[in-house]
Amino acid sequence: MTVTSVERRPETGAKKKQVQGGLLDPRMLMTSLPDALRKLDPRTLWRNPVMLIVEIGAVWSTVLAIVDPNWFGWLIVFWLWLTVVFANLAEAVAEGRGKAQAESLRKTKADTMARRLVGWEPGQPGREEEIAAPLLRQGDTVVVEAGQVIPGDGDVIEGIASVDESAITGESAPVIRESGGDRSAVTGGTTVLSDRIVVRITQKPGESFIDRMIALVEGANRQKTPNEIALNILLAALTMIFIFAVATLQPLAIFSKANNPGVPDSLSLTADGVSGIVMVSLLVCLIPTTIGALLSAIGIAGMDRLVQRNVLAMSGRAVEAAGDVNTLLLDKTGTITLGNRQASDFVPLEGVSPEQLADAAQLSSLADETPEGRSIVVFAKSNFGLRARTPGELVNAHWVEFSAATRMSGVDLENGHLLRKGAASTVAQWVRDQGGSVPAQLGDIVDGISAAGGTPLVVGQVVDKRAEVLGVIHLKDVVKQGMRERFDEMRKMGIRTVMITGDNPLTAKAIADEAGVDDFLAEATPEDKLALIKQEQAGGKLVAMTGDGTNDAPALAQADVGVAMNTGTSAAKEAGNMVDLDSDPTKLIEIVEIGKQLLITRGALTTFSIANDIAKYFAIIPAMFVALFPGLDLLNIMRLHSPQSAILSAVIFNALVIIALIPLSLRGVQYTPSSASKLLSRNLYIYGLGGIIAPFIGIKLIDLVVQFLPGM
């Protein structure tokens, strides 16, 4: 058995690390509170213009309350400051969720020493010196043996070893890393379990995977995405509009009071020292404070959900692009199919019984330690009742192991009985060399299996010096369970799926039909992949793909979302804008779903926030001016206790709704694959209508409580 077979491992790494993403832990709130208070610094808050306006209003209201103290003014000031703190708390909680993971990652860097090789060349060991891992530079060569920690990211240039990557991926099963090929990349902080490898460092100081993950989970590397910047501009514009709108209410109120001298100040809310606080309160309730407070937390939480699934995103732009993807390019092997062809049928020739073919197929495969060979042994045992046999049970037998050169495996028994199993042309030629003939029926069977997308392996034997072909083993590239359903979901989302494979067109079409993908690219070369991506992008589509080899690097760099496997080469990881630490090609589908969930969450809460503002407008304005303009009483449907209680209730609701929505912003709105029109309708019904109704109910309930406070 080849040692690289250890690489196949269950999809447990990402799932083991997934946690409940949106439930607020009171201890987390208390831990994040100091960070929220530090964010009150205007030099930090200026990046969020909506909340900066709220803080300026809170400062002004505080000054007015000090100049002319009263219960109503101080209650408003208290809740205005809470609004700013709650907004900062949402971001602090989102950032705080990654700090524990960042701390565990830092431990993998502490006190690691490196055995650097000076003057190393192939065949020459070089001189060894021990230095601290942070002092390594790009291009240095180090040696790592069993039990030692790999000091930095790099490529194996000599040797083969079993490596424990659980510190990075959370997956306890070891993997194989070896020089050459696409499984040569190693990550700093992982541990060599066996053997000895020589690694060439590819990272620059401070730019290792661990460094980038620490920066990512702590939010240090999170840049605002284009959509987020655009939404911030929209929110800032709305804020400016409401500032001018609210500013006009003060002269209107003064003019109206002058024409209604009999209206008491307690009703008109225009007494000196109070009107300024009222104007600030109205402004804070009408500008989109809810989405302004939660926007940053939504983005951080989206990145965090990727980290929970062991995906390292180089930028928030990549996560956002994943939500807008139109075309998915998926490798067949390992993504759509299991990757190892498995025996699915024994097709005997005329005159040969199925049991005879099964017995010969099993015996000739005992020396074949490839996954295909083992599947033949298991298939014969489970479907024909043949007990499991081992080479050691057959005395004086000569075993012929499978090799890429011979393309055959088999056994020579002591009674002159010879058995061979392998590629159709190879076994057919072997039968001819032994003096036998190949019937025409064999060609028809082989062609039929190939046309169906399978791989035919022929079984031949020599008995009493008579050579003959017994039949054909049908190896099938098994499509992973549930893939057709997942592709159906992608189709509902408007995403086109394309299977990429090196198989011939007939085989590719058969697997594509079985899996349910929309299209396929057969006999694909790196140039073909790159051309397909450019063709899709020329049509205005966003493309996502996965890859792990150096030959995938150009396509990964060209794709809008390029997910490189952690087991892949350094070139692939540098070219992509995401790295899957579990090296699970199917993760691309999850990444797209996370991206869409991020966009839907942002859209849903924006809809809720704007609908909130509309509802609060109709709740507050009538209560404020009904004494001056009795006709407004028709709009005062909530019948709030007094203008003061109406203002205070709205301010309190405005602050509390931010806290209430933090879990949703962290967990994300539940995403169900469906068309854009259905998603829009659902968004409007739930968050639009809900955003209008919630303030009426919430403000009325709060008013029933605050009406008993002094000054109400």
Provide the annotated active-site residues. 331
Diameter over CA atoms, the chain: 124
| Cα dist from 660 to 1, 36, 90, 174, 515, whole Å | 57, 17, 10, 43, 43
- What is the 3-state secondary structure of 503-541? CCHHHHHHHHHHHCCCEEECCCCHHHHHHHHHHHHHCCC
d(CA 30, CA 24): 11
d(CA 193, CA 153): 17
Residue 689, C-beta contacts closer than 8 angstroms, at least 6 positions apart? 611
87 contacts 292 by C-beta, under 8 angstroms: yes
The residue type of 459 is: V
Q: Which residues are annotated as a binding site for Mg(2+)?
A: 548, 552
Written as six digits, the tokens of 140 are 């240095």
Which residue, 475, 456, 481, is CA-closest to 344? Answer: 475
509 contacts 520 by C-beta, under 8 angstroms: yes
Written as six digits, the tokens of 135 are 């002092």
How many CA atoms does the CB half-sphere of 150 hold within 13 Å? 37
Q: Which residues are annotated as a binding site for ATP?
A: 368, 372, 402-409, 421
How many CA atoms does the CB half-sphere of 276 hold within 13 Å? 18
d(CA 443, CA 425): 10
Q: Which residues are annotated as a binding site?
A: 368, 372, 402-409, 421, 548, 552
CA dihedral (441, 443, 447, 449) positive or negative: positive
| Cα dist from 350 to 64, 379, 430, 457, 468, whole Å | 101, 21, 20, 17, 12
3-state secondary structure of 42: helix
Exposure class string for 565-580: b at 16+ Cβ within 10 A, else e: bbbbbbbbbebbbbbb
3-state secondary structure of 495: coil
